[in-house]
Amino acid sequence: MMLRRFVWMVGLAVLLGFTVVLPARALDAAAVQGLASDELATRIEAIDAIAAAGDEAALEILELLYNGEVYVTEEGQVILEFDEIVDAVTREPLDPEPDYYDSVIVNNLMRGNLETAMASLSLLSEDRDTRFASAQALESVEDSKLLPVLSQALDEESDAEIRAMLAQTKSVIELASDDPEVRLAAAIAMADSDQRRVRELLAAKLEKTSDGEFIEPEEEVRLAAEESMKSIDRRLMLIDYFGRFFSGLSLGSILLLVALGLAITYGLLGVINLAHGEMLMIGAYATYVTQTIFKNHFPEAFNFYVIAAIPVAFCVAAAVGVLLERTVIRWLYGRPLETLLATWGISLFLIQTVRQIFGAQNVEVANPSWMSGGVEFMSVVMPYNRIFIIIFSFFVLALVWLMLSRTRLGLFIRGVTQNRTMASCVGVPTGRVDLLAFGLGSGIAGLAGVALSQIGNVGPDLGQAYIIDSFMVVVLGGVGQLAGTVYAALGLGVFSKFIEPHIGAVLTKILVLVVIIAVIQKRPQGLFALKGRAVEA
């Protein structure tokens, strides 16, 4: 009920912004006068009679009644109040004006009737958005009085999406018809639905009463209902799988962004960098600071703050990474245990520093308008911010691939990763390559922070939630392998989302860890092992 009212209020907002063109008929004065009755049933009958007029005046008075702006005088006359008080039917000013009048009482039952009546009147509007909102509002209404207007709207409707909604609403109403032929046609037509509510209505036809008799007496109708249920089940299963795949792709793209920088630094330097998650956190806070600057100084360009935050987050995180490499990491190469402990301490230091600057509470990063909302495909709503993250992840992946395969730095990184000693012998400045690679990996983590800031609040502990998963992605994919990182990140994301509804989030994490351990037991170098003399030796 609340959902239906919400959808209707959205539709009403659209409705009030456009001119509704309906067939002109005379507004029934007796029906309008019925609104003044003390009897609830009489007022509801009056609403139905007004709606039957089917013109703009009927729609207007129903809207005013819904908003509590239709009044009754002490003499029982129904009036409206604009710049002056007028008769509700003739719209003639009252002279003299009444000394006292009160609003027509509208309870929840009347509001439901009003919503249905206003939505049905709007089905014949010339504006597509108005018709769509009205069709949505009527989807959950099962009132046989709507059949004439639904039939008329179907005859005149050219939009395929709205026609499908209207046809489904019509079939739902006709399924309760007294005519077996009408019920049969409705049951067959409902096979095209993808709504669980429709499936439940069909399932109800196959139930039995306490006497053992089927609720639906006609066997032919029951068989049609059963076949339609099977069709709906298949469609719902495809929708469910698509929804899981999109969620898994979204999760996988986040893991890819987080692990991409780690794959470079871990593969090149062999450093177990537990502070990598804090590079992500720094990128997220850089996005928050950029948002604040735009909000305070460039409010007219606020929708573009995310674009500006991308280079800012990359540069800030990369600068912190370069600083850490020069001051701490460079002295610990070849000593994995000391590196692990040192980066863990750096992680705690960075978290506490951010808490001192921004506070311990999470900060909110708002989506720009072009990232708010979503698009519906196969009955699955895909949020724009999630779509942005997926596209952004593959964009960053493409840039990293171009850098590694088409630039001098990329050649050096690949050479040092495969055989550091030989690369140094042929003149590759391995120390500078280590520095730039660590800064690059940290900068990519900063970009992941930009993406994560768009799907949740930003806090000092943001990076802690992803560091373990990112290491699992890198180890599973193969140390230093870009392709392995991509397959591992997307594979783990999709795999997790497909099994999570069955066993729960905690058991999913455990199962993923068991799968990774099993793979590493079989392939210690990961799914994609590095090729080179140093590796093969």
Compare 7 and 496 and report the one with higher pLDDT. Answer: 496
Higher pLDDT residue, 56 or 381?
381
pLDDT in tens, 405-425: 888 888 888 888 777 788 888
Query: Taking residues 447-460, what's their average pLDDT?
Result: 89
Q: In the predicted model, is pLDDT for residue 215 greater than 80? A: yes
**Residue position matching structure tokens 């429709």:** 198
pLDDT at 230 (0 to 100): 92
Domain housing 479: 240-536
**Domain assignment of residue 180, yes or no:** no
CA quadruple 373, 377, 381, 384: dihedral positive or negative?
negative
Does residue 494 lie within any of the structural domains?
yes
Do 268 and 137 share a structural domain?
no
Q: What is the pLDDT of residue 323?
A: 92
| pLDDT band for position 15 (cuts 50, 70, 90) | very low
Residue 346: which of 279, 285, 267, 287 has the closest Cα? 279
pLDDT range class, residue 22, cuts 50, 70, 90: very low
Residue range 239-262, pLDDT digits in tens: 889 989 998 898 889 889 888 888
What's the chain's average pLDDT? Answer: 82
Q: Looking at the structure, do residues 319 and 462 belong to the same domain, yes or no?
A: yes
The pLDDT value given to residue 58: 78
Highest mean pLDDT among 49-63, 265-279, 396-410: 396-410
Give yes or no: residues 293 and 404 share one domain.
Answer: yes
Rounded average pLDDT over 175-199: 87
Considering 101, 122, 157, which residue would you say is the last residue of a domain? 157
Q: Is the pLDDT of residue 536 over 50?
A: no
- Whether 529 is covered by a domain: the verdict is yes
Q: Which residue in 267, 303, 357, 316 sits closest to 439, CA to CA?
A: 316
Model confidence over 266-321: pLDDT tens digits?
A: 767 777 888 888 999 999 999 999 999 999 998 888 889 999 999 999 999 999 99
Per-residue model confidence (pLDDT) at position 169: 86
Put simply, whether the predicted model's pTM sits higher than 0.85 gets the answer: no
pLDDT in the model for residue 495 = 87
Domain boundary among 157, 187, 202: 157
291 and 408 fall within a common domain:
yes
Mean pLDDT to the nearest integer, 497-516: 83
Give the pLDDT of residue 125: 77
pLDDT band at 322 (very low <50, low <70, confident <90, very high): very high
Region 108-128: mean pLDDT is 80
**Alpha-carbon gap, residue 177 to 182, rounded angstroms:** 7
What confidence category does residue 348 fall into, taking pLDDT thresholds of 50, 70 and 90? very high
pLDDT of the residue at 16: 37
- 230, part of any domain: no
pLDDT tops 80 at residue 57: no
Are 152 and 256 found together in one domain? no
For the stretch 463-478, pLDDT in tens is 888 888 888 888 887 7
Over residues 145-169, the pLDDT tens digits come to 778 778 878 888 888 888 888 888 8
Asked whether residue 213 is domain-assigned, the answer is: no
CATH number at residue 512: 1.10.3470
CA dihedral 308, 313, 314, 316 (to 10 degrees): 120
Cite the beta strand spans of 263-339 per DSSP E.
none
Domain co-membership, 20 together with 151: yes
Q: Is residue 195 part of a domain?
A: no
Q: Which amino acid is at 200?
A: E
Model confidence at 504: pLDDT above 90: no
Q: Is residue 100 in a domain?
A: yes
- Condensed to tens digits (0 to 9), the pLDDT of residues 30-42 reads 888 888 888 888 8
Among 139, 157, 175, residue at a domain's last position: 157
- pLDDT above 70 coverage of the chain, percent: 91
Residues 303 and 396 in one domain: yes
Q: How many domains does the chain have?
A: 2
Please give the pLDDT value at position 480: 58
CA distances from 534 to 332, 416, 420, 531 (A): 21, 11, 9, 8
Which residues 6+ apart lie within 8 Å of 474 measured at CB? Answer: 259, 262, 263, 266, 267, 485, 488
The pLDDT assigned to 446 comes to: 92
pLDDT of residue 349: 92
In a shared domain, residues 151 and 258: no
- Domain match, 381 and 489 both: yes
Q: Same structural domain for residues 140 and 22?
A: yes
Closest CA to 404 of 474, 330, 318, 481: 481
| pLDDT band per the 50, 70, 90 thresholds, residue 356 | very high
Asked if residue 481 and residue 345 are part of one domain, the reply reads yes
User: Is 179 part of any domain?
Assistant: no
Residues with Cβ within 8 Å of residue 341, at least 6 apart in sequence: none
Same domain assignment for residues 285 and 140: no
Helices (H), 67-194: 108-122, 128-138, 147-156, 160-174, 180-189
